[in-house]
Chain A
C-alpha cells in the first residue's frame, strides 16, 4: 500500500508492523509525531501494545529495559537532550544485551538551544554499545524499523538498535512510501524469543555486578555482539529484498565510486544532494562519487577501506564536531583507512550544525576543495557574511 508520509510517520508504520509489545514514550521535538501516531494505533486497535506514558526519557529507556527483561519486544523514541538524558540507560540496555529498538530524531544539542537537525546527539553515543543506523529517506526509515528488530534480536547480536532520522529534514518531510502488507511483515519478523528474560520456571538474577575477573569478558562478548551485526545486517537485507523487493546495501551505500577520483563520505539525508552534485560534476568530466554510511556501529571499516582505496581525495561531510578535535565520523573513517594501510588525502567538512543549510554549491565547493587541497578540518561557510 502506498501512502504519502513524513519520516516520523513512516517509521511509526514500520513499528506497527514490527508489533512491539511495550512502548514507552516521552515527547520531544522533532520526535513527537512518532509517539503520537503510535498512541493512535494503540487506540484504534491496529497495534496491540502496552503504551506507557513515562515521565522522562530516563524512564522511557528504563521501562523499555524492564519490558525487554520480561521477554517483551520494546520500543521507544527520543531526540537530542532526551537521548542525552537517557544516556545512562543506553549503556545499561546494551550491557544487558536487551534488543530494544529506539528511533532517534537527530537534533542539535544545547547550548545554544536549537530544535533543528544535526547529528551531534547520536554520534555522541557511538560508544554506548548500540547498533546505529542512519536513514536517508522515509522509505528507508520504515524499512529500518521493520528490519531493526530482526537484526537486534538475532541471538548472535542481542544488541539494542538506534535508528537515526535527521530532525525535520527527514522526520517532517513527506514522501510517497510503500507500506508492506501485515502478513508479509509477520512472515519476515517472527515474535521475539530469548533466554535473557525473567523466567518463572527457571528464575533468573539479571543485570548483576561482575568483578574484574569476569567483567571484561562480558564486555568482550558485548563487542562481539555488535560486530556480529555486520553479517546479520546483510542477511536480513537479503531476506527483506526477497520478501518486499527493496534492496539495501549493508553498512554503506556507494554511488559512482567505482572509478571515482573524489568522494564525499557522509550520512543521513544530505546524501541525496551529494549524489545530485556528483551527477552534475560527472557531466563536467569530474569523477565525483558519494559514500553514504548507513551504519556507524558496527562501523564499516572494510567497506570504507575498499571504496576509498583508489580515490585521489575524500571528504567526510558530517553534521557533527567533537570539540577540540574534528568530526567524529572523520575520525572513524581515517581509522578505517589507517588499519588497511591506505594513505589517501582526506578532509573533514563540518556543516549543518543547528540545522544550518548545506546547499548544492557548498557541496560542489567541497569537491573542488578536495581536488585542490585545503585545510584538513573545515567549517562550511564559516566567517561569511550571510548568517541571518
Chain B
C-alpha cells in the first residue's frame, strides 16, 4: 500500500471540501519529469539486498522476485541507490526525453 496516482480531474467548486481534510495519499501528479538521469537495475547483478530500497528518499524501489524494481513515475533520479549499491547493480543513465 502506498499513495497512488488518481484519475485526472478538474476540481469544481463542489469538489473542494468544506474543510481542510481530504483522502490521505491522493496523488495527482508524477515526479518523473524531474529526472535528468535514471537508475537502471542490472538484474544479473542485483542480489535483492534491499539497501537501495531502504535508503531511497522517495521510496520508489521495491523488491520483486528478489530483484529491485523502480517506480519511474516517482523516481527523481537522485542517484543515492546507485551509490549505496555495493555490488554495482545500479547504473545511472542519461534520461531519454
Residue in A205, A213, A221 whose beta carbon sits within 8 Å of that of B22 in the complex: A205
Enumerate chain B residues within 8 angstroms of A195, measured Cβ to Cβ. 21
CB of A348 within 8 A of chain B? no
**Interface check A214, CB cutoff 8 A:** yes
A interface footprint on B66-92 (CB within 8 Å = 1, 0 otherwise): 000000000000000000000000000
Residues of chain A from 186 to 215 with CB closer than 8 A to chain B in the complex = 195-197, 202-208, 210, 213-214
Assembly CA distance A221 to B11 (angstroms) = 15
Q: Is the CB of A205 within 8 A of B26?
A: yes
Tally of B interface residues using CB under 8 Å: 12
Cα A241 to Cα B13 in complex, Å, equals: 37
| B19 beta carbon closer than 8 Å to chain A | yes
Please give, as numbers and ranges, the residues of chain A lying within 8 Å of B64 by CB-CB distance: none
Q: Is the interface of B mostly helix, strand, loop or mixed?
A: loop
| Chain A min CB distance to B12 (Å) | 9
A206, chain B: closest CB distance, angstroms: 4
Taking a contact as CB atoms under 8 Å apart, the answer to whether B19 and A205 are in contact is no
Grouping DSSP codes into helix (H, G, I), strand (E, B) and loop, the A interface class, with mixed when no group exceeds half, is mixed
In this assembly, does A30 line the interface, its C-beta being within 8 Å of a C-beta of chain B? no
| Shortest Cβ gap from A196 to chain B (Å) | 4
Contact between chains at A221 and B20 (CB < 8 Å): no
Q: Which residues of B contact A202 (CB under 8 A)?
A: 23-24
- Digitize B1-35: 1 where CB-to-A-CB distance is under 8 Å, 0 elsewhere: 00000000001010010111111111000000000
CB of A97 within 8 A of CB of B20, answer: yes
Residues of B within 8 A of A (CB): 11, 13, 16, 18-26
B-contacting residues of A (Cβ < 8 Å)?
A: 69, 95-97, 158, 195-197, 202-208, 210, 213-214, 217-218, 221, 225
Additional A-B contacts beyond A195-B21, A206-B21, A218-B20 (10; CB < 8 A)? A95-B20, A196-B21, A203-B24, A205-B23, A206-B20, A207-B21, A208-B20, A210-B20, A213-B11, A217-B16
